[in-house]
Amino acid sequence: MISVLLALALCACAQLNHAAAPERAIATEHEIYLVRHAEKQTGDNPALTDAGQTRANTLADLLSDKGLTEIYSTDYKRTLQTAAPIAERTRLEVKLYDASDLEAFAEVLKAKQGVILVVGHSNTTPPLAAALGGAPGTPIDESTEYDRLYVIDLTGVEPVSRIERFGVRYQAAE
Protein backbone atom coordinates (compact mmCIF):
# COMPACT_ATOMS: atom_id res chain seq x y z
CA MET A 1 0.00 0.00 0.00
CA ILE A 2 2.84 2.37 0.85
CA SER A 3 4.50 1.69 -2.50
CA VAL A 4 1.25 2.54 -4.32
CA LEU A 5 0.93 5.82 -2.40
CA LEU A 6 4.59 6.63 -3.08
CA ALA A 7 4.10 5.98 -6.79
CA LEU A 8 1.01 8.22 -6.88
CA ALA A 9 2.88 11.00 -5.05
CA LEU A 10 5.76 10.81 -7.54
CA CYS A 11 3.34 10.99 -10.47
CA ALA A 12 1.63 14.03 -8.94
CA CYS A 13 4.98 15.79 -8.47
CA ALA A 14 6.00 15.01 -12.03
CA GLN A 15 2.68 16.41 -13.29
CA LEU A 16 3.17 19.62 -11.28
CA ASN A 17 6.73 20.07 -12.56
CA HIS A 18 5.58 19.49 -16.13
CA ALA A 19 2.73 22.00 -15.80
CA ALA A 20 5.04 24.64 -14.29
CA ALA A 21 7.68 24.27 -17.00
CA PRO A 22 7.58 27.06 -19.59
CA GLU A 23 6.41 26.04 -23.02
CA ARG A 24 9.14 25.90 -25.63
CA ALA A 25 8.52 27.17 -29.11
CA ILE A 26 9.06 24.51 -31.70
CA ALA A 27 11.19 25.84 -34.54
CA THR A 28 9.58 25.30 -37.90
CA GLU A 29 11.95 24.79 -40.79
CA HIS A 30 11.89 27.57 -43.38
CA GLU A 31 14.45 26.96 -46.09
CA ILE A 32 14.31 28.16 -49.68
CA TYR A 33 16.28 26.70 -52.58
CA LEU A 34 16.69 28.91 -55.65
CA VAL A 35 17.99 27.61 -58.94
CA ARG A 36 18.23 28.78 -62.51
CA HIS A 37 16.65 26.47 -65.08
CA ALA A 38 18.92 23.78 -66.55
CA GLU A 39 20.61 23.88 -69.97
CA LYS A 40 18.20 24.93 -72.71
CA GLN A 41 17.85 24.71 -76.45
CA THR A 42 17.66 27.87 -78.58
CA GLY A 43 14.60 29.76 -79.77
CA ASP A 44 11.51 31.24 -78.15
CA ASN A 45 10.44 29.38 -75.01
CA PRO A 46 12.98 26.58 -75.54
CA ALA A 47 12.86 23.14 -73.95
CA LEU A 48 15.78 21.61 -72.06
CA THR A 49 18.63 19.92 -73.88
CA ASP A 50 19.68 16.37 -72.98
CA ALA A 51 22.28 17.89 -70.64
CA GLY A 52 19.52 20.01 -69.12
CA GLN A 53 17.32 16.95 -68.52
CA THR A 54 20.28 15.27 -66.84
CA ARG A 55 20.82 18.32 -64.62
CA ALA A 56 17.11 18.45 -63.72
CA ASN A 57 17.32 14.81 -62.63
CA THR A 58 20.49 15.57 -60.65
CA LEU A 59 18.63 18.39 -58.89
CA ALA A 60 15.83 15.95 -58.06
CA ASP A 61 18.39 13.50 -56.65
CA LEU A 62 19.87 16.26 -54.51
CA LEU A 63 16.59 17.63 -53.15
CA SER A 64 14.38 14.53 -52.95
CA ASP A 65 15.19 13.94 -49.26
CA LYS A 66 15.03 17.60 -48.15
CA GLY A 67 11.33 17.51 -47.27
CA LEU A 68 10.15 19.95 -49.93
CA THR A 69 6.73 21.38 -49.21
CA GLU A 70 6.31 23.61 -52.27
CA ILE A 71 7.80 24.08 -55.74
CA TYR A 72 7.53 27.29 -57.77
CA SER A 73 8.47 27.94 -61.40
CA THR A 74 7.96 30.61 -64.00
CA ASP A 75 5.66 29.65 -66.86
CA TYR A 76 8.34 28.64 -69.39
CA LYS A 77 9.19 25.21 -70.77
CA ARG A 78 12.77 25.31 -69.49
CA THR A 79 11.82 26.17 -65.89
CA LEU A 80 8.86 23.80 -65.76
CA GLN A 81 10.99 20.98 -67.19
CA THR A 82 13.71 21.70 -64.61
CA ALA A 83 11.12 21.42 -61.82
CA ALA A 84 9.33 18.37 -63.26
CA PRO A 85 11.58 15.53 -61.96
CA ILE A 86 11.56 16.74 -58.34
CA ALA A 87 7.83 17.49 -58.52
CA GLU A 88 7.20 13.96 -59.74
CA ARG A 89 9.33 12.41 -57.00
CA THR A 90 7.79 14.46 -54.22
CA ARG A 91 4.28 14.40 -55.71
CA LEU A 92 4.09 18.17 -55.37
CA GLU A 93 2.30 20.45 -57.81
CA VAL A 94 4.49 23.06 -59.48
CA LYS A 95 3.02 26.48 -58.72
CA LEU A 96 3.59 29.35 -61.13
CA TYR A 97 4.96 32.71 -60.03
CA ASP A 98 5.36 36.06 -61.74
CA ALA A 99 9.03 37.01 -61.97
CA SER A 100 8.19 40.62 -62.87
CA ASP A 101 7.70 41.55 -59.18
CA LEU A 102 10.37 39.69 -57.23
CA GLU A 103 10.03 41.87 -54.11
CA ALA A 104 6.35 40.91 -53.76
CA PHE A 105 7.12 37.24 -54.44
CA ALA A 106 9.89 37.34 -51.81
CA GLU A 107 7.36 38.61 -49.26
CA VAL A 108 5.05 35.71 -50.14
CA LEU A 109 7.92 33.25 -49.64
CA LYS A 110 8.98 34.86 -46.35
CA ALA A 111 5.45 34.48 -44.99
CA LYS A 112 5.45 30.73 -45.63
CA GLN A 113 6.99 27.89 -43.64
CA GLY A 114 8.56 24.70 -44.93
CA VAL A 115 11.14 23.85 -47.55
CA ILE A 116 10.56 25.55 -50.89
CA LEU A 117 12.19 25.24 -54.32
CA VAL A 118 11.99 28.14 -56.77
CA VAL A 119 13.12 27.64 -60.39
CA GLY A 120 13.92 30.86 -62.21
CA HIS A 121 16.32 32.49 -64.63
CA SER A 122 19.83 33.95 -64.71
CA ASN A 123 18.42 37.48 -64.38
CA THR A 124 15.84 36.71 -61.66
CA THR A 125 17.47 34.22 -59.31
CA PRO A 126 20.20 36.49 -57.85
CA PRO A 127 17.77 39.41 -57.24
CA LEU A 128 15.29 37.03 -55.60
CA ALA A 129 18.08 35.74 -53.35
CA ALA A 130 18.84 39.33 -52.35
CA ALA A 131 15.14 40.11 -51.75
CA LEU A 132 15.01 37.13 -49.38
CA GLY A 133 17.99 38.47 -47.43
CA GLY A 134 20.55 36.15 -49.02
CA ALA A 135 23.79 36.92 -50.80
CA PRO A 136 23.17 37.18 -54.56
CA GLY A 137 26.76 36.36 -55.50
CA THR A 138 28.27 37.42 -58.79
CA PRO A 139 26.03 37.71 -61.85
CA ILE A 140 25.16 34.33 -63.37
CA ASP A 141 26.99 33.65 -66.64
CA GLU A 142 24.05 33.56 -69.06
CA SER A 143 25.71 31.25 -71.58
CA THR A 144 27.13 28.48 -69.42
CA GLU A 145 26.29 28.69 -65.70
CA TYR A 146 23.48 26.30 -64.79
CA ASP A 147 24.84 24.68 -61.61
CA ARG A 148 24.33 27.44 -59.02
CA LEU A 149 22.00 26.54 -56.15
CA TYR A 150 21.13 29.16 -53.56
CA VAL A 151 20.19 27.85 -50.12
CA ILE A 152 18.53 30.49 -47.94
CA ASP A 153 17.57 29.51 -44.40
CA LEU A 154 14.92 31.81 -42.95
CA THR A 155 14.33 29.73 -39.81
CA GLY A 156 16.24 32.01 -37.46
CA VAL A 157 16.10 35.71 -36.72
CA GLU A 158 18.43 36.58 -39.60
CA PRO A 159 18.64 34.83 -42.99
CA VAL A 160 21.60 32.52 -43.52
CA SER A 161 22.55 31.89 -47.12
CA ARG A 162 25.07 29.93 -49.11
CA ILE A 163 25.68 29.08 -52.74
CA GLU A 164 26.28 25.47 -53.70
CA ARG A 165 27.01 23.77 -57.02
CA PHE A 166 25.36 20.64 -58.42
CA GLY A 167 25.79 18.44 -61.46
CA VAL A 168 28.39 19.16 -64.12
CA ARG A 169 30.54 21.97 -62.77
CA TYR A 170 30.53 25.46 -64.22
CA GLN A 171 33.97 26.73 -65.17
CA ALA A 172 34.23 30.51 -65.39
CA ALA A 173 36.13 31.86 -68.39
CA GLU A 174 39.43 33.38 -67.41
pLDDT digits (tens, 9 = 90+) for 83-108: 999 999 999 999 999 999 999 999 99
Question: Does a structural domain hold residue 172?
Answer: no
Q: What CATH number should be reported for the domain holding residue 140?
A: 3.40.50.1240
| Span 149-166, average pLDDT | 96
Question: Does a structural domain hold residue 68?
Answer: yes
Tens of pLDDT along 53-86?
999 999 999 999 999 999 999 999 999 999 999 9
Residues 7, 12, 14: CA angle, nearest 5 degrees: 95
Residue range(s) defining the domain that contains residue 135:
30-165
- Provide the domain count of the chain: 1
pTM: 0.83
Q: Which of 143, 5, 125, 18 is nearest to 74 (CA)?
A: 125
42 against 23, higher pLDDT: 42
Dihedral of the CA atoms 106, 109, 110, 116 (nearest 10)?
-130
Question: How sure is the predictor about 173, in pLDDT bands with cuts at 50, 70 and 90?
Answer: low
| Span 3-17, average pLDDT | 45
State the Cα–Cα distance between residues 35 and 123, nearest whole angstrom: 11
Question: Does a structural domain hold residue 18?
Answer: no
Mean of the per-residue pLDDT values of the chain: 87
Dihedral of the CA atoms 43, 164, 123, 160 (nearest 10)?
150
155 secondary structure, DSSP code: S
Question: Does a structural domain hold residue 140?
Answer: yes
The confidence score (pLDDT) of residue 28 equals 73
Question: Does a structural domain hold residue 148?
Answer: yes
Question: Does a structural domain hold residue 95?
Answer: yes
Q: Does residue 11 have a pLDDT over 70? A: no
